[in-house]
Amino acid sequence: MLRQSWWKILSLVLLIITFIAGFLGGVPAKPILNETIRNLYFHVSMWFTMMILFIVSLVYSIKYLRSNNQVHDRYALEFAKTGIVFGLLGLITGMIWANYTWGKPWNNDPKQLGAAIALLIYFAYMVLRNSLTDEDKRAKTAAVYNIFAFAMLIPTLWVIPRLMDSLHPGGMGNPAFDTKDIDSRMRMIFWPAAVPGWTLLAVWITTLRIRLRSLHDIKLNA
């Protein structure tokens, strides 16, 4: 299925819809947020994509431990890498947004801290991988850390932001956004177009990277 092209075309179509409808479509006029509410289509979608990719990476790590198949380890690694890229994009889009709504790009908001911690955890995953040279040992140790880290990530991203005061839309409740802030026009772009569009793009990037690495390996072994 991943070799077919329909989902790549779909990704592009969804992203074009997101960009056109996201910038031109109607949005509810909210105080403070105003037009920055359109960042939902980009910033929040980046976080959804990052979370989905980290979950996929986790699944491949579990699969690796069950099968000892090096391919699964590579999948886990590349999905985590693309997840980091989307996490960084989420952080940057959030900081640009915060600069206009909160006055500063960085406010030590619990949600910003959680996002930064999540990225640090996955940077540590990369460092751990680089510190081991033996392939099997590296794959196994990294898979164990990936599973452990993901379990510790859940409270960081899903529980603690709900316990602490925050300026972020959604306040003390939902970590992503306040569902009362957006209306049906925005929902029609966010759920069917923005989230799957960015996610498919991320999967596309990941599959390209995996294929590149496989080609590299073939070249090395030839």
Contacts with other proteins, residue ranges (CB under 8 A):
65, 113-114, 117, 120-121, 123-124, 127-128, 131-132, 137, 140-141, 143-145, 147-149, 151-152, 155-156, 159-160, 163
C-alpha–C-alpha distance, residues 154 and 108, integer Å: 19
Using alpha carbons, select from 189, 203, 214 the residue that is nearest to residue 44: 189
Nearer to other proteins by Cβ, of 127 and 220: the residue is 127
Contact yes or no for 114/161 (Cβ under 8 A)? yes
Nearer to other proteins by Cβ, of 96 and 128: the residue is 128
> Cβ of 65: how many Cβ atoms within 10 Å?
16
Structure tokens at 101: 């709504």
Nearer to other proteins by Cβ, of 75 and 150: the residue is 150
SS3 180: coil
Q: Supply the minimum distance, in Å, between the C-beta of residue 150 and other proteins.
A: 10
Using alpha carbons, select from 119, 104, 86 the residue that is nearest to residue 167: 104
Nearer to other proteins by Cβ, of 172 and 208: the residue is 172
Nearer to other proteins by Cβ, of 95 and 144: the residue is 144
DSSP state of 41: G
Q: Supply the minimum distance, in Å, between the C-beta of residue 219 and other proteins.
A: 28
Q: Supply the minimum distance, in Å, between the C-beta of residue 215 and other proteins.
A: 29
